[in-house]
Copies of this chain bind each other. A is one copy, B any other.
Amino acid sequence: MTRAPQQTLRPILRISFPGDDRLGRGKMELLEYIRETGSISAAGRAMDMSYRRAWLLISELNHMFREPVVESQRGGQKGGGAALTPFGEELLRRFRDMESAMRKALASDLEWLEANRNQGDTVNELSAEP
């Protein structure tokens, strides 16, 4: 799941929740790694993140919803197993579908942006430098 070097425009979806919580691709990627590795610490390592940071993100995510997104499978021990709940699976699937619906809805505008973006051949200077 390493990101390829970015060649073109890419829309990024974040959902802002009341109370400063955010749902975005970082947390979703972490869920994918938890599904893949069965552990919060391994998922964090795969994203170059400390266990503490990964745990805090997942704890935040769990508090954002009525139902838990991830559940620990053996309590108390660092690196104990973790898995997505059925609700977590649905959340992940929906988020990926939302990204894809967004890309479709914005396709023609993204083409317009792409056609007008600077390919490195233009210098537009503002005259009054602070």
Contacts and interface: CB of A to CB of B under 8 A. Distances in A.
Counting chain A residues whose Cβ lies within 8 A of the other chain, the interface size class is 35 or more
B8 A117 contact: no
Interface string A51-77: 110011011001111111111101111
Contacts of A67: 116, 122, 124
Residues of A contacting B: mostly: mixed
A119 B106 CA distance: 31
B16 A116 contact: no
Contacts of A51: 130
Given A78-B128, A109-B94, A118 B15 contact: no
A126 B11 contact: no
